[in-house]
């Protein structure tokens, strides 16, 4: 059972974070409710160790979505509503991570290293993918499709760019050092190096999987007004036309699947003894 102190702490932090989210416009009303539920339960069931990586993802991704928003909007590839994320986006990015925390909390009083690894794999995949998209949109040239390497317009699912790939890799360096600070282990150096490898490998491969599915299976639309290729069903305030891909496979479905892949990879790395670290 979580202690009363932890519940009070989680309540205070989450209320403050949600007020900040409203002020900064990180989420819309649906996104606010879903991120509160996910964040609050992860804090209570997983404690600071599990909450901190999520907090980093949420705040940094929220801020970077706002960076040069107007420029991204002009490219026709910005998130709508000034970058405020909806509940589908929140659930797609945090749902798998939350499920892992509930499993970890149910099964053990101290989480097993493979479950912490799986959790970080899920969170860091979503984080790497979000940063790759938002920073990739700032790339001055045209992105290339990950499968054919042909130039595509910004915002095309499966499009990759040097900025995006760099962001995908650098995201691990923001999430791991802070997480290690909250890891109750005596050997922080080993834990840091192990977690860095786990997060780098799982988030890079997880978000690359995201791009591959984006380029092949995800529904791609064309705007009838501006002619741009997009993953959105509404563009320039008009319903778009489907070019290819499976109708029900949208960005949220792809994100959710990618976080499962990231989590499974990270779990496997620890479970099969490729990399090890201790929590206590």
Between 77 and 120, CB nearer to Zn ion: 77
8 Å CB contact between 198 and 266: yes
CB-closest chain residue to Zn ion: 223
From candidates 236, 249, 253, 264, binder to Zn ion by CB under 5 A: 236
- Residues numbered 41-80 forming contacts with Zn ion, rule: CB under 5 A: none
For the chain, how far is it from start to end, CA to CA, in angstroms?
19
- Output the smallest distance, CB 240 to Zn ion, in A: 8
Residue 22: count of CB within 10 angstroms of its CB? 13
From candidates 78, 220, 235, 259, binder to Zn ion by CB under 5 A: 235
Between 107 and 226, CB nearer to Zn ion: 226
Overall size of the chain counted in residues: 280
- Output the smallest distance, CB 77 to Zn ion, in A: 10
Between 147 and 241, CB nearer to Zn ion: 241
- Name the H helices within the chain: 4-24, 29-66, 69-74, 87-107, 113-136, 162-181, 188-216, 251-271
Q: Which of 154, 276, 175 is nearest to 223 (CA)?
A: 154
- Cα–Cα distance, 146 to 214 (Å, whole number): 9
Question: Applying CB under 5 A, which part among 53-61, 132-140, 232-240, 253-261 lies near Zn ion?
Answer: 232-240
- Binding of Zn ion by 22 (CB under 5 A): no
Between 24 and 236, CB nearer to Zn ion: 236
- Binding of Zn ion by 232 (CB under 5 A): no
- Cα–Cα distance, 231 to 263 (Å, whole number): 25
Number of residues that bind Zn ion (CB under 5 A): 5
Provide the binding-site residues for Zn ion, judged by CB under 5 A: 223, 225-226, 235-236
């Amino acid at each position: 059972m979580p202690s009363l102190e932890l519940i009070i702490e989680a309540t205070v932090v989450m209320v403050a974070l949600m007020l900040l989210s409203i002020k900064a416009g990180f989420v819309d009303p649906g996104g606010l409710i879903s991120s509160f539920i996910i964040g609050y339960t992860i804090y209570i069931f997983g404690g600071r160790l599990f909450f901190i990586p999520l907090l980093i993802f949420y705040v940094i991704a929220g801020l970077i979505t706002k960076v040069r928003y107007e420029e991204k909007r002009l490219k026709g590839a910005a998130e709508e509503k000034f970058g405020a994320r909806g509940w589908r986006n929140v659930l797609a990015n945090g749902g798998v991570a939350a499920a892992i925390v509930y499993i970890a909390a149910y099964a053990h009083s101290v989480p097993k290293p493979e479950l912490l690894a799986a959790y970080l794999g899920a969170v860091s995949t979503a984080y790497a993918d979000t940063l790759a998209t938002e920073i990739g949109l700032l790339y001055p040239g045209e992105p290339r499709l990950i499968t054919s390497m042909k130039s595509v317009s910004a915002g095309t699912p499966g499009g990759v760019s040097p900025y995006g790939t760099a962001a995908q890799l650098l995201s691990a360096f923001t999430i791991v050092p802070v997480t290690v600070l909250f890891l109750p282990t005596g050997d922080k150096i080993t834990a840091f190096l192990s977690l860095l490898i786990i997060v780098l490998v799982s988030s890079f491969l997880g978000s690359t999987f995201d791009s591959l599915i984006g380029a092949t299976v995800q529904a791609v639309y064309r705007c009838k007004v501006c002619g741009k290729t997009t993953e959105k069903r509404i563009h320039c305030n008009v319903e778009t036309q489907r070019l290819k891909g499976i109708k029900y496979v949208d960005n949220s479905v792809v994100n959710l699947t990618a976080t499962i892949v990231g989590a499974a990879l990270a779990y496997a790395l620890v479970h099969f003894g490729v990399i090890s670290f201790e929590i206590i």
